[in-house]
Structure 1
């Protein structure tokens, strides 16, 4: 199996990444969507000096989540993926 095929099989969806962040931050309520911060840059680039063209570069600065008021088809419900567990009553 090639390395790229292996990466495709292990890729996480945006909802899975949001779910991981919700669990890592111990969030138990609310609806969340991905919030990605990008960097943009311009320059000159090409495969050779003769083929240089104006170029736009896009980088991902950070990946976060944002809480939203109403659920959407793209949001993750924290109460569904990370329900708050009730503490068991201690015996007296």
Structure 2
């Protein structure tokens, strides 16, 4: 059987994994991403250059969910990583 070469994760799976890694057992958390932006001339040939922008994800993390954050983007640490009793 071939070994997998890719693994895909949903938003909730990423947040849950980070909550567990951080040892969090309470609070509601959401994903945060920092982006870098670069500009330049782009095109398939020199004659077809146009101004363009490149966006890079520079970091991914979690932050306490803000009031009113959409429930679809929030993970409850007490559900995904309950404290041991």
Write the deviation string for residues 32-68 of structure 1: whole angstroms up to 9, x where unpaired.
0100000111110111111111011000010010112
Seen in structure 2, the aligned counterparts of structure 1 residues 48 and 69 have a Cα distance that, compared at 3 Å, is closer
Larger Rg, first or second structure (1 or 2): 1
Query: What does 1:1-92 correspond to in 2, within 5 Å?
Result: 7=6, 10-68=7-65, 70=67, 72-86=71-85
TM superposition shift of 1:69: 5.0
Structure-1-length-normalised TM-score: 0.78
Q: Which runs of 5+ in 1 are unaligned?
A: 1-5, 87-92
Instruction: Tell me the C-alpha RMSD between the 2 structures.
Output: 1.6
Asked which structure has the greater RCO (Cα within 8 Å, sep 6+), the reply is: 2
Q: Which runs of 5+ in 2 are unaligned?
A: none
Query: For residues 44 and 73 of structure 1, what CA distance do their matches in structure 2 show?
Result: 38
Write the deviation string for residues 5-52 of structure 1: whole angstroms up to 9, x where unpaired.
x74xx3111111000000111110000010000011111011111111
Q: Which runs of 4+ in 1 moved over 6 A?
A: none
Structure-2-length-normalised TM-score: 0.83
Query: For residues 84 and 15 of structure 2, what CA distance do their matches in structure 1 show?
Result: 20
TM superposition shift of 1:73: 2.9
